[in-house]
Structure 1
């Protein structure tokens, strides 16, 4: 299972990495898959210059320590999955699930014709600060779980009540920029959205076929 970040590699001058990936394996980041591990240790241009964090992560989180290779790249971009919160406690053994009313939810197969609201009115990728644990979504940034929702707005701080160590924390979009963060729309355009954007407008921009009237932003 590989994410949108892997699928677009040939189109951002990273064809060598893409061609060396093994797409037939069961899990892309397992230590036994040496070819993929080498590829996944390569930092690609999904980083924001404003983010002060290291370009790669070291996995030292609880039961996951040692399960994933150190040196996997951090990413500052996440797919826009949906407008509904899908936070959960991974300690329960339940992975996050998505209602999938956006474009890039986990294992999505959305085509341009499915974006009925119009590609210029639909979010596709947004900035994330990389504050999640490396054993969480950011550590798996090249698998299918690097997707986020817009239910908590932009630059919000949120925790899962009682989640403890295994809590999936801010599942939303955020950045180190003052006042908001950048999003890529379905037509390829990039817009800076304010953290004060009306939540109804943000929801309308998130859904691909909701039929909402998009307000000013």
Structure 2
């Protein structure tokens, strides 16, 4: 079935999205460099380490949104989308499909997953839910294996943010992700997006 005219993405337009994939891959690379420098800085590098991880997770989340968006099928009030909203939703889905085709990316679970992305984007809501459930003990910005961290009190603590520097993982509100895996995935996307841009430019 042919793509509806309103959903077709021309080569010039799609290059903007491909360029953004490259930009976010570069941002992720810079975040990893800052993270490595922070870990080498000892105790004074704790804040920098978590800022770097947040930057890496943010870049990965933007890549995820570009390649695997989830545009709403209803508006904020729960009503059916207007004609313009439906057009935008269809465009978003078509744009993401074209990006995946041009980059030959069929699936990168670590980027496609919404877990850590949601942990960042809905941090306040999940923290509200935690406290409303009657729990009160939290731990934040700890670096080290979770099972070796000492928490005072009998109730289990919620780790808001945690870096395991031995396994090279990061957790946001309990959802864990491999930092090396994220770096590998974002690098791959950046390389494929750059290659796709070159192919499109040579076709002019």
Q: Give the TM-score taking structure 2 as reference length.
A: 0.22
* Structure with larger Rg: 2
Give the helix-richer structure, 1 or 2: 2
**Higher RCO, 1 vs 2 (CA within 8 Å, ≥6 residues apart):** 2
Q: Give the TM-score taking structure 1 as reference length.
A: 0.21
